[in-house]
Chains A and B, each alone.
Chain A
């Protein structure tokens, strides 16, 4: 079988462009185009809290504290705003996490660093890290909103994450549709272009664009869930594979933190 025959076989196994072009979708397409062009005034659901939760295997990432969702709006004006990005409320949360909980981490919002972000449906989730000689912290915040959370550990990042790549995840919400919405964060070694996060419920591919290999992604995975008061659904992270741009496997790791 030559290349052309093989390609033809592949094309025949999928929707063809000819088939798609023949569909009468004029009403739907015109409606979509108008909706998009009027989207500047689009009303969507308001921001929802990002709620970091510990994965089934307890992670050192969140041993310091698992922080609830809402950060009080209007408070914390005395806290530093880092690089004009971390809001006063977010900075206050960082300071609170560093000072309370199971361990005192000694972190400061003034050294918080934005390492990765992802935008979905107009919402941007930012991944911030804080590193000290004997402490580290990871936070997820929704840009421009007073929602977020994270945790810290009283050890250096190198101790907490001895191996790259690693990934961790937080359960964000479950709408009862049988799909769970997860926020994945992690770090991959130098030269990584994308990672495959392999879970019991599927594989999530994430492009890695940060210079330091950090990434954050929102993903939807099929989960089996039960109505409250049953616990929220979990997935187990099996491994993470880091790939170079040419598809070469650079390294494999697991749950970090």
Chain B
């Protein structure tokens, strides 16, 4: 049966960008299952609002923007209730058994250092480093001016350099001070939920 133009457009967008979107979500959610649900919710929004989805090459930027809002909303249980991504969740759980990064110690160090960034600095740097977007593209995703993006990026890199340097010099002290305090645990989980970039569960 011949598909409608809408279905064609959606299938094209899905096939071209679903995997990049999954990567984006995996870097910003606490679990692979959450990431699958974010992809599902984002693509559902795209399907229902196909008339406003921009043509290429801006499609992926629009999808990133929607995914960002989906994650910010944080209503994980309702996303799960849709049951759109059950098979994808299951496959992801099986496929991502290995540690998500090659060097967990380094990843932990960088993740800790990135906590010194504001949420927007964190996002701008992540979009630059992992999604490999230009400031102009990030400006579209975040709906802000290019110059503002550049400012955030500059600040983010400066802070991260500083934090990594400090972390290296104080590593032994920091280690000694770590505790299993419940408050620390909560803070850690929350950080993963909203600003998470590393995949450690």
Tell me the A residues contacting B by CB distance below 8 Å. 1, 3, 6-17, 19-21, 23-25, 27-29, 31-33, 35-37, 39, 42, 44-45, 118, 120-121, 123, 175, 177, 179, 181, 196, 201-207, 217-222, 243, 245-247
Contact = CB atoms under 8 A, between A and B. Distances in A.
B136 interface: no
B125 interface: yes
Interface size for chain B: under 10, 10 to 19, 20 to 34, or 35 or more residues? 35 or more
B16 interface: no
Q: Identify which of A14, A29, A247 gathers the most chain B CB atoms within 10 Å of its CB.
A: A14
A25 B92 CA distance: 7
A10 B129 CA distance: 6
Contacts, number: 201
B81 A10 contact: no
Main secondary structure of the interface of A (DSSP, over half): mixed
Interface of B: 7, 10-11, 14, 18-20, 22-23, 26-27, 36, 39-41, 43-44, 47-48, 69, 72-79, 81-92, 95-96, 100-103, 106-107, 109-111, 114, 118-121, 125-126, 128-131, 144-145, 148, 151-152, 157, 160-161, 164, 186, 189-190, 193-194, 197-199
Main secondary structure of the interface of B (DSSP, over half): helix
B44 A15 contact: no
Contacts of B106: 9, 12-13
Contacts of A3: 157
B72 A202 contact: no
26 contacts: A7-B128, A7-B129, A12-B103, A13-B101, A13-B107, A13-B197, A14-B130, A15-B27, A17-B19, A17-B131, A28-B85, A28-B87, A28-B88, A28-B90, A32-B39, A32-B40, A32-B85, A33-B18, A33-B43, A35-B40, A121-B75, A123-B78, A181-B75, A206-B72, A222-B186, A222-B193
